[in-house]
Amino acid sequence: IEELGNRLARSFICNIDVLSSIASLSERFYEGSHSRFVAEKSVQVGEELGMSEEDLYELNVAAILHDIGKVSFFDSALYKHTSEMTPLEYDQYIKHSELGMHVLKQQPDLSGVADIIYQHHEKLDGSGFPRNLSGDSILPAAKIIIVADFFHNAVYRKARNRAASQGSTVKFSNTTSFLEPSKIKFNFALNYMYKKRNILFEKKVVDVFIDIVQSERNSLGQKAVMRIAVNKISPGMVFAEDYHTKYGILIAARGETVSKEQIPSLVRFAENEQLPMKILVLK
């Protein structure tokens, strides 16, 4: 019985990974991994707010899969601001949370995750979609995801004139050059979220989120940029570039903190020539 339980658990996790890979197809116009960033920051906020382990797990999965409804989007819509979309593109955009919910509702174990995804664009004042929910009608996890999602969209979505050159790699000689490109957008996003506390976003969520990202950005300013052998990478370092396999699958995202669990995979990718033997990190 225990072995069967373990096999079912592994199968469930494998299904999440497959869905995550599908969802990542809509992330070509971001710097780094959008879903991984939203998931990582959402869980950090949830931990600070004292969410239970079960709720954190649902939050993590919902954040990873929150944009799965965008897989059918036209490429042209993926990097546009909503004000730039055609009527057809905008109609498609406002349906993506509902589409994501319907995809996941087919798996009973993901019913709670589906409900969170359905609500992740709802806002406190009722101006969100798809149901114009407000206040306490919105699930706590959805209130967290919308903040992390807004921030990453505001700071790390590529501009339209850069989308065509998405395969190019930017080189950084120091942390100042690493942080400078996002400085203006970073400050704008935080100022906007702060002003919209208790209007669009949950105040306690915004306050915790701002503390997290400001603290992380300050710590990045104290690191040095260096190229290190993959087998010498250690947890806490930060990837300074995006790294993809030769098939275009994102292995490591710029700005993502290296975790202990990632390191064996990085070594295997390097041994199979899917990753350079030395990669650029902030240490």
Tokens (6 digits) for 231: 């087998």
Long-range Cβ pairs for the range 193-198 (8 Å, 24+): 193/147, 193/150, 193/151, 198/124
* Per-block mean pLDDT, blocks of 10 residues, the chain (283 long): 59 64 67 84 97 94 91 75 84 90 87 95 96 97 97 80 47 65 88 96 98 89 84 89 77 84 87 88 86
Handedness of CA 191, 197, 199, 201 (dihedral sign): positive
- For residue 52, the model assigns a pLDDT of 95
Torsion of CA 20, 22, 23, 25, to 10 degrees: 130
Amino acid identity at 49: L
> Helix, strand, or coil here: 148?
helix
**Pairing mode, strands 278-282 and 250-252:** unpaired
DSSP for 81-137, written as a single string: -GGGS-HHHHHHHTTHHHHHHHHHHTSGGGHHHHHHHHHTT--TTS-SSSS---GGG
47 class by beta-carbon count within 10 Å (0-12 exposed, 13-18 middle, 19+ buried): middle
- For residue 164, the model assigns a pLDDT of 44
Beta-carbon count within 10 A of 184 CB: 10
What is this structure's pTM? Answer: 0.80
Distance CA 172, CA 280 (A): 9
Distance CA 240, CA 253 (A): 8
Asked if residue 206 lies in contact with residue 197, where contact means CB atoms within 8 angstroms, the answer is: yes
